[in-house]
Chain A
Amino acid sequence: MLRRRINLLFGGDEKRVDSRTIYVGHRPCPATEAFIPPKFCDNRIVSSKYTIWNFLPKNLFEQFRRIANFYFLIIFLVQVIVDTPTSPVTSGLPLFFVITVTAIKQGYEDWLRHKADYEVNKYPVIVLEDGRSIRKESEKIKVGDIVEVVEDETFPCDLILLQSTRDDDTCFVTTASLDGESNHKTHYTVPDTEKDLQSLNATIECEQPQPDLYKFVGRMHIYKTDQEPAVRSLGPENLLLKGATLKNTKKIYGVAVYTGMETKMALNYQGKSQKRSAVEKSINAFLLVYLCILISKAVVCTTLKYVWQSQDGQDEPWYNEKTQKEKDTYVYLKMFTDFLSFMVLFNFIIPVSMYVTVEMQKFLGSFFITWDKDFFDPEIQEGALVNTSDLNEELGQVEYVFTDKTGTLTQNNMEYIECCIDGFQYRNSDSMSELDGFCVTDGPVSKLQQKAGRDKEELFLRALCLCHTVQVKEAGPDEIDSDQVDGLVSELSQPDEQRGFIASSPDEVALVKGAMKHGFTFLGLENKSMKIRNRENNVELYDLLHVLNFDPVRRRMSVIVRSKSGETLLFCKGADSSIFPRVRQEEVDRIRMHVERNATEGYRTLCVAYKQLSPEEFAVADAGLRDARLALQDREEKLMAVYNQVETSMSLIGATAVEDRLQEEAAETMEALQGAGMKVWVLTGDKMETAKSTCYACRLFQRGTELLELTVRTLEDGGRKREERLHELLLDYHKKAVQDAPPVKAGVTRSWSTANQEYGFIIDGATLSLVMNPSPDTNSSRYKSLFLQICQNCTAVLCCRMAPLQKAQIVKMVKNSKGSPITLSIGDGANDVSMILEAHVGIGIKGKEGRQAVRNSDYAIPKLKHLKKLLLAHGHLYYVRIAHLVQYFFYKNLCFILPQFLYQFFCGYSQQPLYDAAYLTMYNICFTSMPILAFSLLEQHIAIEYLLDNATLYREIAKNAMLKWGPFLYWTVLGIFQGLLFFFGVKYLFSNPALQDNGQVFGNWSYGTIVFTVLVFTVTLKLALDTRHWTWINHFVIWGSLAFYVFFSFFWGGIIWPFLKQQRLYFVFANMLSSVSAWLVIILLILLSLLPDILLMVFRKPRGPHARQKKKIQTSAEARQSRSSIRPLLMRTFSDESNTVI
């Protein structure tokens, strides 16, 4: 024994990297000679990124690491170093503005983090040291300290629970702040630790810090003076996580194992991987085009400049001599600086402000999602949550929707429906009244009148009562009293009985409640013994020996209990597929019929089996389980092996059916999504039959949909090798769905006529892994592409029996397929996290299975029905807004810079700016920024109600339609047209610069100001033309910025500014307005520039739905009401129909 321990210790030494050793209470343990206090980090949480000292350099460095900022910095530096036409201020000021705003924002956020850190780090905690309780600041906790935590306090670091004030050595914890699960979780003290913590002498070996909240492996060695050291295994049930809160327990003591940044909470505090939207990719493409335009403009100008200068007398006429320095400059260097100067002159074509505006639009725009009261769910008192605002517009581009079934399509609000004991069906009479129409269908099959033997009944019900991990919620003493006083009958009649139970999965609660309806009540777990009250109102006690936990791979869970009579029993419940192979076959057939029938009705079925363990069997199992639990390495695998060993040759006693109701408006939502051209794939871990019926109920599969099945069942039909059959089926389906199908025309809406055969595809996990990872001899990639092609031609795809990773695999496969379609994943549980992270847009439902999905999602909504508005209305609007924003920004800067470019041809290519520096700087910041920002936040080119009613409108913007090269070309041509018009219009006016009625002439700054005035008015009015939704804000901002421009120009030209080197604009604007000709040309040019747009709008108009939107709103509201009232009926018929199909 000693040797083993030493070996273990040595083993631990060798693998120092893998585990850490903690001395509880810093007491040296007798086994090791020298006590070397190990070094661990302190308990300070540092979530802040900066300190006061490194904020500026670090923040600046981070900001300039972005290429856009870096580009503008380069431009700015060029302006500072090289003699450039515009002063460095023109580009420096906006850049400075952007950098400062970002720095302030980040600084503020960091300050908040500092504050939060301070609060956490200075929080007083009580540490036991040398028998005394000492108050300490939280940050001073060291690994090995014994920490005292009282009720409703949060744990200051990750603790191993040593002692609890509760009798049963447990404590309750909520992890609401970690993963949002608000239920109480039970944690256990390390068994057999001494009551006196002062004399406890122990070491803990545990793994190095890792972020998985639900995994912990460790081992505790307890040294007692007169005994062999005892070894106890430690699991997640012993570990109290920092951030969790102690509940229902007065006080606990625990030893710190991970502190500070090594706690699981801190390790989980990491940013998610960045997702980029398709719009951003388009912007980058356009930027590239504009960069090319910019460079080619600069190249053209530089070339022409040197061609022009080579003529006699043009380079340096007598009136305009160069400085000595200029003359001395080497000609190639001069050419280069000239090139840079042109770049600087034209660099406004790629404006800094676009980034600011786009970012602001996204940030502010995302508030509309959180503000939307339609997303508010009164049940959970929460609305939608936006975790990232970068993907707003992506919501308008979704092509594939991957949805989870349980909790997403269905409510995950389980209701016990019926059970089947030994082949006889038991339907609860209570629930009959609630489930009106349902009993009709199963009339003939039902054996309602017959009963199984009483023994079997009771065995089954005991199994239901015992085989679970449900806790009874602690109620106040008076409540308990009333429970005891009141009989069973009154308890049953209490409608909110379910509140008494807390469980990780709602199925379990439903089953326990189901057993209660049949007379067996689970009263709770006390001192490792489960109390149940049987039909005779007697309390039975069972010792809970082992819980073989549920996990999605095994798909079953078991308990081993010992009854008072000394029998050792194993009860197991699980999915039919995992139970049937482990029971005697003759029992299976009787129950299978029931299970399958229940499954086709859309119920979740579980089979229950039991086995009586002989003392020898139990001893073996017990030893195996204990050994496996103590293992430090590969504990999971070892446990799994033991579980599999124990759960064999059981006898099947029955099956249960639990209904998982469809989410509200699930069918309408799915219908709307399909109408919007999205392909819906259901990815579920559930049984095929159950999932299929849900699909029918959700109208994903229609009456006429031909189902193409690719499941283990169909593969085994032919009795040949699976691979061959798979190959054959794939080719067959491919022929059906892809080759014979008429080519789908773009924009053709899903027709309700039967002209086009619709296909639905069903595949299960096993087959999918065959397709995805086929045996090496087959042509693997071909399967995958065949599969993909078939799926893409199906209206709906159902993938059942999926492991979480397979869900992500499918999303990834579609995401990377041809055309890289935009994918959206929606789910509510931890098993959906992988696909939520994988998809372009991840949506979490604030469901019942904790908050993991929500935490990892980009957007979280309370209910599935909200997806419709999120995509069809918000997504559509966001996309249209941002697309317009981007196009408009490029357009307005093109027609801003084009006149300046053209002016070079008339000023000897000397980089003379056409506009004054103030105008150059302010154009994008002040004069034209606010209207487009307001537009991009408020525009509703189609009313929201109309968008919701006509899902097909979503197709109009599919595939990034507004940011394709076509529209981009249109905007570019428009910009070029207007730029040319502005410049040459004013140029012809200036063929005689005597424009005032007193004969005085205008100079170059007047020229620029007239062009600029036309420009500002035109681009603003162009936006006004595009605005379909004029709120007062739009009015205010559009007319306000025009007024501001006029006001500013007067003001700017009205004063001799002492800090300006040149008073270029002094009274230029006022003089311009005193000239009738200038007025006339401004009006003319504005009108002429807008003419093509007006014309186009008029010609295009008749297609738009706007004209009728008002009327539509009312009628649609009525229609929706009437529809929703008949919905349940419809749903029923579909689910009925699913019976006939199968």
Chain B
Amino acid sequence: MMASSYTAKEEDGHHSGSAAAGGPGSSKSKKPDNTAFKQQRLPAWQPILTAGTVLPAFFVIGLIFIPIGIGLFVTSNNIREFEIDYTGVDTNSPCNRCSQTYSWNISCTCSVPFSLEQPFESNVFMYYGLSNFYQNHRRYVKSRDDSQLNGDKSSLTNPSKECEPYRISEKKPIAPCGAIANSLFNDTLELYYIYPNGSRTLIPLVKKGIAWWTDKHVKFRNPPGNNDNLTITFQDTTKPVNWHKPVYELDPNDPDNNGFINEDFIVWMRTAALPTFRKLYRIIQKNKDNMTPTLPRGNYSLEIAYNYPVRSFDGRKRMILSTISWMGGKNPFLGIAYITVGSVCFFLGVVLLIIHHKYGNRNNNADIPN
């Protein structure tokens, strides 16, 4: 394979050679220029990795990594995270009925009680998690039309072929088209705090700021036209097959969160990397007075409008409550990894030091007579 790629050289060789010979100084003398580059004598730094130079580096790495690792580990441990599976696979679970009598048309609600052992301070982020859901499947990932989502008029009525088979429905173009949009997560989750006396109160969930700022403001745009009345803008299109309502009714109350720029929609459109993933659903703002925790310990109830079927492909649905630190959500991996690598480096440093001390001198002695 390799060799054959040089066959053209055959006739080139001569030319290149003569060109090379004539090239440098054909004008005056054929004597090659005495430049550092041409004589391969460019000044060069010649680093030498010896035990002497690497040893301190190992110790330094160890000394830096271990504290970082400890910091990460502690931070990760301080993050409160609560996770509840509400799929309803178990016959005893409250959503079992909903998960079985699933149909796209009938809305089914169920409530899952749970209790938090520890209070959640600061902002609490509410995620929904899906398992065994291949959002990273190729057919799925490419099944979208970004120019339609960016508000392109022509793409709105004539979506990309990539959207097949979710491109045309009832002879009208689908907006938003494609498999991703079609399978938008449409469970509605509500969180109630149950006072010890049994009365319950709805915890306010903020649905802004869950999508990337650039997505919300640049990448996703509603088609131009009457901004107040998206119905007209989307009039020639139809809703995705699995949706209950058209795209312009995703959030009828807030025109800034409606249509393509609906944040739930945008979050969903950012396809997950792995088949088990979580997506940000709502944010529970910390209390203004800062005196009481955002979510005090106690009993809660998760009210679910159970629309999203996952049992057909053996999937799972979870609701996750989590606080967030500077490093993001809870993930002990980084901390452990840093501590491990730091210790390994430190250990190697020690080993090298011993080797260096024991054998290094002898090596040097052996070298000198050469």
Contact = CB atoms under 8 A, between A and B. Distances in A.
Contacts of B160: 1061
Contacts of A321: 165-166, 179
Interface stretch (A211-219, A679-687, A688-696, A1070-1078): A1070-1078
Interface string B119-149: 0000101010000011111111111111100
A998 B219 contact: no
A389 B16 CA distance: 8
| Interface size classification for chain B | 35 or more
A792 to B, nearest CB: 28
Contact of A386 (B17, B145, B150, B314): B17
Contacts of B63: none
A889 B32 CA distance: 33
A1063 B46 contact: no
Contacts of A1025: 49
A908 interface: yes
Interface string B150-194: 100000000010101110000000000001001100000000000
B44 interface: yes
Interface in B208-228: 209-212, 214-215, 218-219
B46 A1106 contact: yes
Interface in A34-87: 49, 62-63, 65-69, 71, 85
A338 to B, nearest CB: 11
Nearest to A272: B10
Contacts of A267: none
A399 B146 CA distance: 62
Interface in A1096-1142: 1097-1098, 1101-1102, 1106-1109
A1030 B44 contact: yes
A313 interface: yes
B164 A1007 contact: no
A816 interface: no
Interface stretch (A193-201, A359-367, A970-978): A359-367
B313 A313 contact: yes
B9 A906 contact: no
A71 B5 CA distance: 11
Nearest to B277: A993
A273 to B, nearest CB: 8
Contacts of B345: 1091
Interface in A374-390: 375-376, 378, 381-383, 385-390
Interface string B329-342: 11101100110010
B49 A1098 contact: yes
Contact of B30 (A382, A1070, A1071): A382
Interface string B19-34: 0110110000111111
Interface residues of A, number: 126
B318 interface: no
B3 interface: yes
Contact of A1095 (B39, B133, B348): B348
Interface string A865-895: 0000000000000000000000000000000
B46 A373 contact: no
A910 B138 contact: yes
Contact of A907 (B68, B138, B242): B138
Nearest to B366: A1102
B7 interface: yes
A905 B279 CA distance: 22
Contacts of B212: 1000, 1067, 1071
A776 interface: no
A355 interface: yes
Contact of A992 (B16, B42, B278): B278
Interface string B48-60: 1111001000000
Contacts of A85: 138
Contact of A68 (B1, B50, B127, B348): B1
Nearest to B167: A323
Contacts of B141: 912, 1004
A1060 B50 CA distance: 49
B2 A280 contact: yes
A186 interface: no
Given A1084-B337, A1084-B341, A1004 B273 contact: yes
Interface string A696-737: 000000000000000000000000000000000000000000
Interface of B: 1-18, 20-21, 23-24, 29-34, 38-40, 42-51, 54, 61, 65, 68, 72, 123, 125, 127, 133-147, 150, 160, 162, 164-166, 179, 182-183, 209-212, 214-215, 218-219, 242, 267, 270-275, 277-280, 283, 309, 312-314, 322, 324-331, 333-334, 337-338, 341, 344-345, 348, 352, 360, 363, 367, 370
Given A280-B6, A1102-B363, 14 more contacts: A274-B6, A274-B9, A284-B2, A323-B164, A355-B2, A907-B275, A912-B138, A989-B334, A994-B280, A1063-B146, A1080-B334, A1084-B337, A1087-B61, A1101-B51
> Which 8 A-B pairs give the minimum distances between C-beta atoms?
A319-B183, A994-B329, A1007-B273, A371-B38, A999-B125, A388-B13, A910-B138, A313-B313
23 contacts: A68-B1, A109-B11, A274-B9, A370-B24, A372-B32, A373-B31, A376-B30, A376-B31, A383-B21, A385-B20, A386-B16, A388-B17, A910-B140, A912-B137, A985-B337, A989-B334, A998-B209, A1001-B270, A1006-B273, A1033-B42, A1056-B219, A1063-B150, A1088-B341
